[in-house]
Amino acid sequence: MLSRALIQQEIVPRFGADALKGLPDGATLPIPAGRAMVFTTDSFVVQPLEFPGGNIGDLAVHGTVNDLAACGAKPRWLSLALILEEGLPLTTLRRVLDSVKKAADDCGMAVVTGDTKVVARGQCDGMYVNTAGIGELIDGFELGAGRVAAGDHILVSGPLGDHGMAVMAVREGIRITHGVTSDTGPVHRLVEAVRGLAAGVKFMRDPTRGGLAAVLNEVVEGRGRGILVRETELPFSVGAQATAEMLGLDLLQVASEGRLVMICSASVSGEVLNAWRALPEGAGAVRIGEVTDSKGRVILETITGGRRLVDVPRGELLPRIC
């Protein structure tokens, strides 16, 4: 199917209002005067394209929304670039595009520009997607690992690792069927809900590739601070735990695609948790630990009370999960 026909039949009906009307080469955006804007991009190569709880389409929207949210920005505009393998079933493409539209609408984000390419059979494994997003920085947020100080609290918005386990469960060669459901979803409302507490929020990140272990190690690496988390406080769903148990995987290193990790001052953490728990996507929010003085290390206090290192995830732990 030629690009042109594809665009007319599939893209325009879903996204062809407003900025995309008439398919201009670029979107002209009304940037509010004096506002700082945040710009981010991500590419998605997940295999398989569809998995319990979502597909590459909503993953691509939520991924970019969440990067903007983690930067303290309100998501506004999205670009959507598709690279399609010749022979990709039209029904699959339609389901993915429907998911993109629904996810973007749910997030209050407009798809304002994009591109579609078709490549030969045998390339790009069905579909690759890139999204880039622009958001408006919310007043009061000044985020960065440099602001993190000993005594700060570490919060997560819900159970960890469901997305990675959901994708793994579908992969060929692993005989687990009807596994756990991906947690793919937007977290920007969690950020919006704490804008009044922004001064106490030091750092935010969505724990995708490499999971919580990657995020926490990134915060402490090369700095005079460390992190202590308590195993008894870590939230995991029953399904993700069972799947990880069967595969011998450590959920600390497994991606979530609809969760937020926050480091904030102790004085605001109670209010943050209350605000998060009032939202469905934050129902499982908990405090899992705090920032310490142990240089550059992330330590887990296990259920025995004994401590051990939470290492940076190494190697290709779980390929092609986002």
Q: What is the contact surface with another protein in residues (CB under 8 A)?
A: 169, 173-180, 232, 238-239, 241-243, 245-246, 248, 300-309, 311, 314-315
When the beta carbons of 164 and 200 are compared against another protein, the nearer one is 164
- Smallest gap, in angstroms, from Cβ of residue 128 to another protein? 23
- Smallest gap, in angstroms, from Cβ of residue 139 to another protein? 42
Structure token digits, residue 19: 């900025």
- Smallest gap, in angstroms, from Cβ of residue 183 to another protein? 16
Helices of type H across 130-265: 162-170, 188-192, 211-220, 238-247
What angle is formed at CA 259 by the lines to CA 150 and CA 110, rounded to 5 degrees?
120
Distance CA 256, CA 7 (A): 32
Distance CA 291, CA 228 (A): 6
When the beta carbons of 18 and 233 are compared against another protein, the nearer one is 233
Distance CA 46, CA 318 (A): 11
When the beta carbons of 104 and 300 are compared against another protein, the nearer one is 300
Distance CA 64, CA 42 (A): 6
Q: Which region, left, alpha or beta, applies to residue 153 given φ > 0 means left and ψ of -120 to 50 means alpha?
A: beta
The rounded Cα 97 to chain-centroid distance in angstroms is 19
When the beta carbons of 204 and 251 are compared against another protein, the nearer one is 251
- Smallest gap, in angstroms, from Cβ of residue 237 to another protein? 10
- Smallest gap, in angstroms, from Cβ of residue 246 to another protein? 6
Distance CA 150, CA 141 (A): 20
Distance CA 178, CA 71 (A): 35
- Smallest gap, in angstroms, from Cβ of residue 56 to another protein? 24
When the beta carbons of 147 and 223 are compared against another protein, the nearer one is 223
